[in-house]
Amino acid sequence: MTATEPVVRYETAGAVALVTMNRPRYGNAQNSAMTYALDEAFYRAAEDDEVRAIVLRGAGKHFSAGHDIGTPDRDTDTSFPRRAGLWWDHVGKPGAESRLARESEVYLGMCRRWRELPKPVIAQVHGACIAGGLMLAWVCDFIVAADDAFFADPVVRMGIPGVEYFAHPWVMGPRRAKEFLYLGERIDAQRALSWGMVNHVVPRADLEEYTLSTAQRIAAMPRLGLALTKKAVNQAEDLMGQAAGMDSVFGLHHLAHAHNAEVGADSLAGQDARSMRDARRDSEGGS
Ligand code: ZN
């Protein structure tokens, strides 16, 4: 990795755009720079008439370790030109206003913007897919996982009811969502498959080829037919309450951030990447 290497790589393979998160040193932890680079990549794929399908994947050992809560390039206090909505710049705003403006843009807003990209998007997941990483996989139309993939949303440990794009009950069912969130523990790819959260589990060595060949077969279908089909299924999901549910949980999420900031030192209940890792090791054992 050099300082000039992009945090998101964009390539094409025939009619398929390959969007690769590229902070392998940090498990592709998502800072705002990466968020806007992802948005740029998806925008580019949407605009290019030659691109018919998109694959989202991660460089290095993991898909995504989640939102950046501890790398040297954490950039929560940096302004970026907003793309997802019309919220004003969060920098310098007091209390809950700053968090609400920022997360409305870079988390819930961006995820919704990407979910509505009218071309098929496949998540190619290997290694860690944790917390904010789930949001990135869930906005894709479906998920192909390697046999080494694992999933967790441990933010209840911060007193927070799940990540900002609260799709849990819709992608895994309400009872599984509660257990998944209450424990915050990892589930492996096979369990995610049995819950219906991922579509396929393939050997790690076959993941890239399997996902690309699936994307290429999809890419041969009529463009408008794919766009209408995507819209049809997304609408059905929203009629099952996902969009309205997410809006209401976003309020609970921000109540939790505000509570943490009111009673403690910060909105994450004093947790960072290291303390979350240590707490998980204490409770689950292992590495
Ligand atoms: Zn948040």
Distance 217 CA to ligand 1 centre (A): 37
74 CA → ligand 1 middle, Å: 15
164 C-alpha to ligand 1 centroid (Å): 6
Q: What's the mean per-residue pLDDT of the chain?
A: 96
Distance from the CA of 254 to the center of ligand 1, in angstroms?
7
The answer as to whether 59 is a domain residue is yes
CA separation for the pair 166, 90 (Å, rounded): 22
Counting the structural domains of the chain, the total is 1
Cα of 104 vs centre of ligand 1, distance in Å, is 9
* 1 within some domain: no
Q: Please give the pLDDT value at position 1.
A: 47
Between the CA of 65 and the centroid of ligand 1 the distance, in Å, is: 15
- Does a structural domain hold residue 99? yes
2 is a domain residue? no
CA of 220 to the centre of ligand 1 (A): 39
**Residue 3: is its pLDDT beyond 90?**
no
Confidence of residue 145 (pLDDT cuts 50, 70, 90): very high
Residue 205 lies in a domain: yes
The alpha carbon of 92 and the centre of ligand 1 are apart by a number of angstroms equal to: 17
Q: Does residue 107 form part of some domain?
A: yes
Q: Give the distance (Å) from ligand 1 centre to CA of residue 267.
A: 8
Q: Over range 73-95, report the average pLDDT.
A: 94
Nearest by Cα to 39 from 117, 103, 91? 117
Collapsing DSSP to helix, strand or coil, 41 comes out as: helix
> How far is ligand 1, taken at its centre, from the CA of residue 68, in Å?
11
Output the pTM of the full model: 0.96
Return the percentage of the chain with pLDDT > 90, whole number: 94
What pLDDT digit, counting tens, does each position of 263-281 carry?
998 999 999 889 999 999 9
The pLDDT tens digits of the residues spanning 178-224 come to 999 999 999 999 999 999 999 999 999 999 999 999 999 999 999 99
Whole-Å CA distances, 223 to 15, 46, 199, 219, 233: 11, 11, 22, 8, 16
pLDDT of residue 286: 59
pLDDT for 2 equals: 53
Q: How far, in Å, is the centroid of ligand 1 from the Cα of 147?
A: 29
Q: Give the model's confidence band at 283: pLDDT under 50 very low, under 70 low, under 90 confident, else very high.
A: confident
What CATH number is given to the structural domain containing 135?
A: 3.90.226.10
C-alpha of residue 165 to centroid of ligand 1, in Å: 9
How many A from CA of 258 to the centre of ligand 1? 10
pLDDT for the residue 53: 98
Decide: 56 and 74 in contact? Cβ < 8 Å.
no
Q: What is the mean pLDDT of residues 104-124?
A: 98
How confident is the model at residue 287, as a pLDDT?
55
- Give the span between the Cα atoms of 105 and 90, in whole angstroms: 9
| Dist. CA 119–CA 46, nearest whole Å | 7
| Domain hosting residue 169, numbered range | 8-283
Chain centre distance of CA 35: 10
Centre of ligand 1 from the C-alpha of residue 257, in Å:
7
Q: What is the distance in A from the centroid of ligand 1 to the CA of 219?
A: 35
pLDDT at 216: 98
